[in-house]
Amino acid sequence: MFLRIIRRSLTRGLKSKLLAIVAIAFGASLATAMFSVSLDIGDKINNELKSYGSNIVVEPESESLPVKVNGVDFNPITQNKDYIPEKHIPKIKMIFWRHNIVNLAPYLEANAQLSEDQRVAVVGTWFDRKIRIPTGEKFNFGVKHLKSWWEIQGDWIKNGDNKALALVGREVAEASNLKPGDELNLDFNINGQTVNKKVKVKGIIDSGGKEESKVYLPLNLLQEITGLKDKVAKVEVSALTTPVNDLARRAQENPDALSDEEFEKWYCTAYVSSITYQIEEVIPGVVAKEVRQIAQSEGVILNKIKLLMFLVTLAALISSGLGISSIMTTKVLERRQEIGLLKAIGSSNLGVIALFVTEISLLGVLGGVLGYGLGIGFASLIGQQVFGTAISVKLLVMPIILVLSIIVALLGSISPLRIALKLEPAEVLHG
Amino acid sequence: MGLITLENVSKIYGEDVKALDNISLDIKEGEWVSIMGPSGSGKSTMLNLIGCMDTPSKGVVKIDGIDISELDKKELTKVRREKIGLVFQQFHLVPYLTAVENVMVAQYYHSMAEEEEARKALERVGLGHRGNHLPKELSGGEQQRVCIARALINYPKLILADEPTGNLDKENENIVLDLFNELHDQGHTIMMVTHDPKVGQLAERQINLDHGKLKDTPQISKERGLVS
C-alpha cells in the first residue's frame, strides 16, 4: 500500500515536482561537472605543468656529491666519471607508481668544435623513442614530449632515426648560418684524438632557454662517437605527483625514521619523494632528485583550484537546497489537509514523514540523474575550453551525485517536514 | 460504565477561554447520540476530545475503559486507530487515491490493506461500482459514503461524525442518514455533531451545548426513524 500511495502521489502536482527535479538537477549538474573536472584536473593540471619540464632528475650517485667549492672541483672521482646504463632506464616505468611516470628523456653531453673559434655543447638524447617494458607495454619517450614548448623549425628527429641527424639550437644556427637540410661538421676531442662527424640539420630549436646554444643528436649516435656505449649522464623524468604534506616532508628528510604504517602510507602515495625513492630502488647507484619549485607550485595551484571548485559546488548545492525547501514548503502547505487526514485515520508522524521522505528521495534520484547528464556536458565543455581536451567520464561520480542529490533534497526538506510534523488533525479537518 | 465517559471535563485555551466547562456524560455502547449547539458552543472541542485529537485541560475522558487524558500523541493515535471511525463534513479523501484505495489507507495504518475487504465496504455503502474512481470523479454524497466505508473498515467501537450531511444536497443527505440508521440498527455506536435539528432528532439522545456547558439534561428523542 505504501508504494501504491507513493506511485499515485508522484503523478499528482507534476509541475511542482518538475520544478523540484530541476532545482536538484541544477545543483547536481554543477557538482557532477566539478567532481569530474576535480578528479581529472589533477592529471590535467599536472600535464599542463609537466609541459614546462620535468620534475625529477636522475643522476649517478657520484654526480650528486657536492664537489665544487668556490669553483674548485673536489670530487675525487671526477676523472673517472660515473654513468647510468641506458638499459636500466625502462625500469623507471616499472616502479610502484609507474602509471604516474608521464615521460622521461636521458642525456649524454660532450663538447665539439664547430669551427676553429666556435665550441659547442652537444647533447645526445631520445627524441621520440619507442620503448617496451617487460610487461609488454610500449611507450614513446623523449624530449619531443618532455619539452613540448620547444618550437622546431624543420622537423623533429623521429623514432628509429639513428642516422647522422641533428637538432640545432637557434643561437648555434644563427652563428653558423644554418638552416634545416644543411650539413654540420662537428669535431669531437675523444681521449686526445679528434673525431669528425658530419650531421644533417633536421630542425632548429627555438626554446627561449639554454637549449638554443646546444646541438642535439640521437643518443646512440653520440654514444658511438664518444665510445660511451649504453651510457647516459642523467635522466629527466616527468611524473604526476601528489601535493607535499607533513608526512612527505618527514619522509624526504629520512624515510627510515617513519613507522611501518607511515612508511607504507607514504610509499603508496604518489609524493615526489616516494617516486624518487622507488626510482632509486629499481636503478642501483643513482640518486633521483626532485626539481623542487615546479613540484611545489603544482601542489599549491592544484589545491587552490580544487578549493575554488569545492566552493562553487557548495554554493550550487546550497542554492538547490534552498530551492527545494521553498518548493516543498509550498507542497506541504498545499497538502496539509491530506497530512491531517492521514494522521486522523491512524498514521503516526513517522508514517507521514516516511511518505514525504520517500517521495523527496525519488525526486532527488531523478534530479540527480538529470543533473549527472547535464554535468557531464558541462565537464566536457570545461575540459575543451580550459584544458583543450575532453574530461574523462568517471562512473564513480554517478553514485556520489545520486547520494548527494538525495542528501540535498532531504536537507532542503527539513523545514517543510517540520511543518508536516507539527500539523494537528484537529486543526485542518474541521469546518 | 459506558463506552465513552466524560467526568468533569474542561478544555481551557489561554488563561480563561473555556471551550468546555465541567462536562460529565456517559455514552453507552450501541447508542446514537447527537451533539448540538450553536457555533462556539464547544461541539468541535468535544468531538476532538472524544476523537483522541486533543486532551482535556481538566477531568477524565475514557474511551472503552481507556483514560486518554494523560496519553501522549502516539498513544492517542493508537486509540483513535483502534477504536474510532471518523467522518468529516468536508469528506477529506486523499485526492490522488481511488475510492477503494482511500478505504485501504485506513486498513494500512490499522493493520494490513486488503483490497477485497475494502471493496466489500464500498458495496455496503452502495459504491461497489465506483471503487476505481478518484474523489474528483464522485459526487459529494458518493464521497461521503466512501468516508463512511473508510470509517467502518476497521470495525471501530465508535463512529464519530462531524456534520456529515453539512455539505450535501437533500437527496444525498437522505442517502447518508439512511446509512447511519442502518449502521445504528446493526449495533454501531454513533456520535454525530450537527446543528441541523432534523438530523439531531434521528439520534436516541441529544446533547445540547451552550458556551461550553450542557444546556439541558440529555434526553431520548421521542421519534426516531428512517428519514426517507
Q: What is the mean pLDDT of chain A?
A: 83
Inter-chain residue contact B54 with A348, CB threshold 8 Å: no
Inter-chain residue contact B53 with A349, CB threshold 8 Å: no
Please list, residue by residue across A176-213, b when 16 or more beta carbons sit within 10 angstroms of its beta carbon and e when fewer do: bebebeeebebebeeeeeebebebebbbbbbeeeebbe
Tell me phi and psi for residue A97, to 5 degrees.
-95, 35
Non-local (6+) Cβ contacts of A294 within 8 A are A49, A52, A53, A55
Non-local (6+) Cβ contacts of B90 within 8 A are A429, A431, B167
Inter-chain residue contact B88 with A8, CB threshold 8 Å: no
CA dihedral (A249, A252, A257, A260) in degrees, to 10, reads 90
Quick check: B48 contacting A, CB < 8 Å?
yes
Residues of A in contact with B80 (CB under 8 A): 344, 346
Enter the pTM of the model.
0.60
Q: Where are the domains of chain A?
A: 2-46+298-429, 55-290
Non-local (6+) Cβ contacts of A313 within 8 A are A30, A31, A34, A35
pLDDT digits (tens), chain B, 228 positions: 688 888 888 888 887 788 888 888 888 888 899 998 888 888 888 888 898 888 888 888 988 888 888 888 888 888 888 888 888 888 788 888 999 999 998 889 888 878 888 898 888 888 888 888 999 898 888 888 898 888 888 888 898 988 888 877 888 788 888 888 888 888 889 999 888 888 888 888 888 888 888 886 545 544 554 443
Residue A103 has pLDDT above 70, yes or no: yes
pLDDT of the residue at B182: 83
- How sure is the predictor about A47, in pLDDT bands with cuts at 50, 70 and 90? low
pLDDT of the residue at B222: 44
Closest CA to A105 of A42, A168, A150, A171: A150
Distance of alpha carbon A86 from alpha carbon A125, whole angstroms: 11
Alpha-carbon gap: A343 to the closest alpha carbon of chain B (Å)? 7
Query: With contact defined as beta carbons under 8 Å apart, do A291 and A53 qualify?
Result: yes
Query: With contact defined as beta carbons under 8 Å apart, do B146 and B102 qualify?
Result: yes
pLDDT of the residue at B151: 86
Picking from B86, B116, B117, B134 by the largest number of A CB atoms within 10 A of its own CB, the best residue to mutate is B86
Distance of alpha carbon A305 from alpha carbon A37, whole angstroms: 10
What are the pLDDT digits (tens) for A298-336? 667 777 777 888 888 888 888 888 888 888 888 888 888
Distance of alpha carbon A124 from alpha carbon A214, whole angstroms: 10
Going by the DSSP 8-state scheme, the letter that residue B150 receives in this structure is H
Nearest by CB to B97, from A8, A348, A429: name it. A8
pLDDT of the residue at A273: 86
What are the pLDDT digits (tens) for A27-46? 888 888 888 877 776 666 65
Query: With contact defined as beta carbons under 8 Å apart, do B121 and B103 qualify?
Result: yes
Average pLDDT over residues A238-245: 81
Residue A68 has pLDDT above 50, yes or no: no
Counting every residue written for chain B, the total comes to 228
What are the pLDDT digits (tens) for A335-349? 888 888 888 888 888
Distance of alpha carbon B202 from alpha carbon B199, whole angstroms: 6
pLDDT of the residue at A239: 86
Alpha-carbon gap: A308 to the closest alpha carbon of chain B (Å)? 45
Nearest by CB to B44, from A1, A425, A430: name it. A430
Predicted ipTM? 0.84
> Which residue ranges form the domains of chain B, and what is each CATH number?
30-58+72-220 (3.40.50.300)
Which residues are B23's β-sheet partners? Answer: B9
Q: What is the crossing angle of helices B140-152 and B99-110, to 10°?
A: 20
Q: Which amino acid is at B169?
A: D
- How sure is the predictor about A70, in pLDDT bands with cuts at 50, 70 and 90? very low
Residue A215 has pLDDT above 90, yes or no: yes
Picking from A2, A338, A345, A347 by the largest number of B CB atoms within 10 A of its own CB, the best residue to mutate is A345
- How sure is the predictor about A108, in pLDDT bands with cuts at 50, 70 and 90? very high
- Contacts of A350-357 with C-beta under 8 Å, sequence gap 24+, read A351/B109, A352/A420, A352/A421, A353/A417, A353/A420, A353/A421, A354/A2, A355/A2, A355/A5, A355/A6, A355/A9, A356/A328, A356/A332, A356/A413, A356/A416, A356/A417, A356/A420, A357/A410, A357/A413, A357/A417
Tell me phi and psi for residue B63, to 5 degrees.
-115, 120
Cell representation of residue A173: 644556427
Counting every residue written for chain A, the total comes to 431
- Taking only Cα atoms into account, the Rg of chain B, rounded to an integer number of angstroms, comes to 17
Cell representation of residue B153: 473498515
Average pLDDT over residues A390-417: 85
Residue A194 has pLDDT above 50, yes or no: yes
Residue A73 has pLDDT above 50, yes or no: no
Average pLDDT over residues A226-238: 90
**Residues 111 to 130 of B: which have CB under 8 A from any A CB?**
113
Nearest by CB to A351, from B80, B92, B109: name it. B109
**3-class DSSP assignment, residue B119:** helix
Distance of alpha carbon A184 from alpha carbon A112, whole angstroms: 11
Inter-chain residue contact B73 with A349, CB threshold 8 Å: yes
Helix (H) or strand (E) holding B220, with range, is: strand B219-220
